A and B are shown apart, each in its own frame.
Chain A
Amino acid sequence: MSDVAQAIVTVTDLVKRFGDNAAVDGVSFDILEGEVFGLLGPNGAGKTTVISMISCLLAPTSGEVIVDGASVTKDPRKVKCALGVVPQEIALYPTLTALENLRFWGRMYGLGGRLLEDRVAEALDTAGLADRARERIETYSGGMKRRINIAAGIMHHPRVLLMDEPTVGIDPQSRNHILETVKELNRRGMTVLYTSHYMEEVEFLCDRVGIIDHGKVIALGAIDELRRLVGDENVISVHLSELSAGVLDALRALPEVDSVTATAPADAEEHDEDGAKPEADESVMVQVLSKDSGTVIADVVSVLGRAGAKILSVDVREPNLESVFLHLTGKSLRD
């Protein structure tokens, strides 16, 4: 990323209301040319609504978005030409082949003739699916569909790529391929806005991050800057086979404990190769935020032992974006 990078996307005081409900409530941020900017927040935080307004799908209730010098309200066509969009859903035609899908989406961006064929070949190469291009999308695994979903968004070489939760519901191998693809696209000069509720992905990819909750950006900056918001608090993660009543309150009552949350373990959201969820897992991940993790960890294990909880694993981590979110909102990203 250049030291003198200019903002290629400017979002100013953006608001979107659906009736009385403000899905997006005064969001502002810049995306610098050449960076990967992350928008991190739990499901329902307003990430997709922000992307929909930047991509001219939804009209803002108020506020302004400028993309590559053009306003989304005044010059949407220019904005659309500068953007590539990878929706959260697999927005492809299942009975058409990958080749037919890519040709169609390329034509929608004005590509044709030799250029279209070259770009289709390039996109298939990026997706790593050139050898299966003539197979129908309905025969693909969840991860392969996601890769073609991304390929369809980059055919016209957009200046800015909007990626809305592109790894939802796929296997780890496909997720890694997608993350490496994003890195590669960024190396080629593409600016990326990447939304996710997976902290690890955002930490891996992004130069700067905006943390969004209830339609508001609650923190914004480089990842190290955000980590410093937490100070020297560490996260004690305890994986339990099940959660007994009253355990969380008992943990919160411990001295030196700042906050406690319980969520499904991250790997409970993993999916198999076809994107299907595995069998129900009743285990729980309890996260305890404390500045004195060395002392508190013994008390935490003691409380859990008295409650009869079966501990599967215990882990102490340095501050990360998850702990930043926990620190700012008192809840987990996966709540």
Chain B
Amino acid sequence: MRWLHVGIKDLTVTVRDRGSLAILIAMPMILIVILSSALGNLASNLGKTPVAIINLDQGRVGAQVTDGFFTDTQLTTLFLAQRMSDPIEARALVAKGDLAGALVVPADFSRRLNTGRSSKLTVYTDPGRQIAGTVFRSVAESLSTRVSAASIAARTSAYYVAPLRVRDPGFVYGVIGKAVQSASDTSALSAVQVVESTAARGTELSTLSYYAGAMSVMFLMFGAMFGAFSLVRERDNWTLPRMLMSPGTRWEILGGKMFGVFMVGGLQFLVLFAFTSALGVRWGDPIAVGLIAVSTVAAATGLAIFIAAVAKTVRAVSGVAQMLIQFMAAIGGSFFPVSQFPAWMQPLHYVSVNGWSIDGILATMRGASAVEVLPNVAALLVIAAVFFGIGAWRLRWE
């Protein structure tokens, strides 16, 4: 049980250190409050809304509906649209919060409208971004209205003009104009219906909720830095060699050090969880949150051993840790939501602890169950194992 004594000792030493507590507990609390107050509603303030356009229609009408998202000045100012081919994948991305919405034009859209039948456009929206979702849906409705009008106009002109074999263009345009006028009739507009579907269940995520998760994860990584500090300091101050001269094995001592980092991280998360919950953040299913928290703290523990192995001195630990933590925070979404990144950059968040962890936390906040966050948990545990493996292999004991 030497590992237990080493872990409890490390927890006591950390709790006694006011400087560490200020960074690990007070700083994230302050940043969560400041960032959420300053940035307000992320959906309305943080640039273009990312959406997917899926045009399965081979005809001209589908293209008329979707091209506007890439060519219309107003729409390109509002939306960052990307063409996709798979509606299921698009829906999944909306469900994860990577996209604010998706518009699906069905395969037989042009054919049905040209033959006088009704059709449907499908819009997926992220319930976590109500404002952006509403705007996107309104735009889709507006487009459907135009298509309906054009369809009716075309059908009317065909109906009147074709049997007459008229050569006067003015007469033809007059007829079409009449037809378009008739398109303003309410019942005619129902030729195209917009069917809205929310892509995931759950409640709207406030900026406070976002940063509660994002900052908690980032400062759990700072906990890893303090864990690495502890290992290197113990080596320099001869308490680690003294432990090695006791009957305990290296694995018992390393296990104890890891247990200490893990307990500090767990305590840190509990305090931040309680603090943000008191501010009104709803974290979601406790089991799912617990799984994500435990796996994130495990990854931070592995990271601590890795940093201690890579950096030989306290000063080097500070440099290496800050570089790694800032990089992972930046690409993992601790500063800004990944959905605000350029499309090519978004997948990069999966190479960070922060990316997987924040992804999981936002999912639980949107209502995901423990089973649904298992991929995130597994990814975080794999990262923990890789960090620990390299760290334990390269760690200098003497």
Taking Cβ atoms with an 8 Å cutoff, the residues of A that contact B are 52, 55-58, 77, 80-81, 83, 85, 87-93, 95-96, 100, 104-105, 107-110, 152
CB-defined contacts of B244 to chain A, threshold 8 Å: 56-57
Check B278 for interface membership: any CB of A closer than 8 A.
Answer: no
Give the docked Cα–Cα distance between A91 and B241 (Å). 9
- A104-B5, A108-B248, A110-B247 are contacts. A85–B13 as well, Cβ < 8 Å? no
Contact A91 B13 (CB under 8 A): no
Give the docked Cα–Cα distance between A95 and B11 (Å). 12
Among B239, B247, B248, contact of A91 (Cβ-Cβ < 8 Å)? B239
CB-defined contacts of B398 to chain A, threshold 8 Å: 52, 57-58
- A91-B242, A107-B2 are contacts. A96–B9 as well, Cβ < 8 Å? yes
Pairs A-B, 4 closest by C-beta atoms: A89-B238, A91-B238, A91-B242, A108-B246
Chain B residue with minimal CB distance to A85? B245
Check B243 for interface membership: any CB of A closer than 8 A.
Answer: yes
- A93-B13, A96-B13 are contacts. A107–B5 as well, Cβ < 8 Å? yes
Give the docked Cα–Cα distance between A77 and B244 (Å). 10
The smallest C-beta distance from A120 to any residue of chain B, in angstroms, reads 14
CB-defined contacts of A83 to chain B, threshold 8 Å: 245
Contact A87 B242 (CB under 8 A): yes
Give the docked Cα–Cα distance between A324 and B119 (Å). 107
CB-defined contacts of B243 to chain A, threshold 8 Å: 108
Among B5, B237, B247, contact of A80 (Cβ-Cβ < 8 Å)? B247
Chain B residue with minimal CB distance to A104? B9
Chain B residue with minimal CB distance to A89? B238
The smallest C-beta distance from B325 to any residue of chain A, in angstroms, reads 24
The smallest C-beta distance from A54 to any residue of chain B, in angstroms, reads 10
Contacts A85-B242, A105-B246 aside, 11 further interface pairs with beta carbons under 8 A come to A56-B244, A81-B247, A83-B245, A89-B238, A91-B241, A91-B242, A95-B16, A95-B17, A104-B9, A108-B5, A108-B247
Contact A109 B246 (CB under 8 A): yes
Give the docked Cα–Cα distance between A91 and B237 (Å). 6
Contact A77 B13 (CB under 8 A): no
The smallest C-beta distance from A116 to any residue of chain B, in angstroms, reads 11
Contact B239 A96 (CB under 8 A): no
- Number of A-B pairs, beta carbon distance below 8 Å: 60
CB-defined contacts of A109 to chain B, threshold 8 Å: 246-247
Check B138 for interface membership: any CB of A closer than 8 A.
Answer: no
The smallest C-beta distance from A55 to any residue of chain B, in angstroms, reads 4
Check B12 for interface membership: any CB of A closer than 8 A.
Answer: yes
CB-defined contacts of A152 to chain B, threshold 8 Å: 242
Interface of A, secondary structure class, is: loop
CB-defined contacts of A89 to chain B, threshold 8 Å: 237-238
Contact B12 A100 (CB under 8 A): yes
Give the docked Cα–Cα distance between A81 and B16 (Å). 31
- A58-B398, A100-B12 are contacts. A87–B241 as well, Cβ < 8 Å? yes
Give the docked Cα–Cα distance between A89 and B237 (Å). 7
Chain B residue with minimal CB distance to A78? B247
Chain A residue with minimal CB distance to B249? A77
Q: How many residues of B contact A (CB 8 A)?
A: 19
Give the docked Cα–Cα distance between A199 and B16 (Å). 41
* Contacting residues of chain B (215-264) with chain A, CB-CB under 8 angstroms: 237-239, 241-248
CB-defined contacts of A55 to chain B, threshold 8 Å: 245
Would you list 6 pairs from A and B whose C-beta atoms are within 8 A, ordered by A residue? A52-B398, A80-B245, A80-B246, A85-B242, A96-B9, A108-B243
CB-defined contacts of A58 to chain B, threshold 8 Å: 398
CB-defined contacts of B9 to chain A, threshold 8 Å: 93, 96, 100, 104
CB-defined contacts of B17 to chain A, threshold 8 Å: 95
Give the docked Cα–Cα distance between A116 and B13 (Å). 21
- A95-B13, A96-B12 are contacts. A87–B5 as well, Cβ < 8 Å? no
CB-defined contacts of B248 to chain A, threshold 8 Å: 108
Chain B residue with minimal CB distance to A84? B245
Give the docked Cα–Cα distance between A110 and B2 (Å). 8
CB-defined contacts of A56 to chain B, threshold 8 Å: 244-245
Contact B245 A57 (CB under 8 A): yes
CB-defined contacts of A87 to chain B, threshold 8 Å: 238, 241-242
Give the docked Cα–Cα distance between A90 and B243 (Å). 13
CB-defined contacts of A91 to chain B, threshold 8 Å: 237-239, 241-242
The smallest C-beta distance from B251 to any residue of chain A, in angstroms, reads 13
Among B5, B239, B245, contact of A92 (Cβ-Cβ < 8 Å)? B239
The smallest C-beta distance from A162 to any residue of chain B, in angstroms, reads 9
Contact with A along B97-114 (1 / 0, CB 8 A): 000000000000000000
CB-defined contacts of B2 to chain A, threshold 8 Å: 107-108
Among B16, B239, B241, contact of A57 (Cβ-Cβ < 8 Å)? B241
Chain A residue with minimal CB distance to B253? A108
The smallest C-beta distance from B17 to any residue of chain A, in angstroms, reads 6
The smallest C-beta distance from A117 to any residue of chain B, in angstroms, reads 15
Give the docked Cα–Cα distance between A58 and B245 (Å). 10
Chain B residue with minimal CB distance to A58? B398
CB-defined contacts of B13 to chain A, threshold 8 Å: 93, 95-96
The smallest C-beta distance from B12 to any residue of chain A, in angstroms, reads 7
The smallest C-beta distance from A233 to any residue of chain B, in angstroms, reads 39
Give the docked Cα–Cα distance between A64 and B90 (Å). 69
Give the docked Cα–Cα distance between A80 and B238 (Å). 17
CB-defined contacts of A85 to chain B, threshold 8 Å: 242, 245
CB-defined contacts of A92 to chain B, threshold 8 Å: 239
The smallest C-beta distance from A304 to any residue of chain B, in angstroms, reads 43
Contact with A along B1-31 (1 / 0, CB 8 A): 0100100010011001100000000000000
Chain B residue with minimal CB distance to A162? B245
Give the docked Cα–Cα distance between A107 and B1 (Å). 9
Give the docked Cα–Cα distance between A55 and B239 (Å). 14
CB-defined contacts of A80 to chain B, threshold 8 Å: 245-247
Give the docked Cα–Cα distance between A222 and B245 (Å). 29
Among A88, A93, A95, A100, contact of B239 (Cβ-Cβ < 8 Å)? A93
Q: Which of B2, B5, B239: most chain A CB closer than 10 A?
A: B239
CB-defined contacts of B247 to chain A, threshold 8 Å: 77, 80-81, 108-110
Give the docked Cα–Cα distance between A4 and B13 (Å). 48
The smallest C-beta distance from B196 to any residue of chain A, in angstroms, reads 59
The smallest C-beta distance from A147 to any residue of chain B, in angstroms, reads 16
The smallest C-beta distance from A235 to any residue of chain B, in angstroms, reads 35
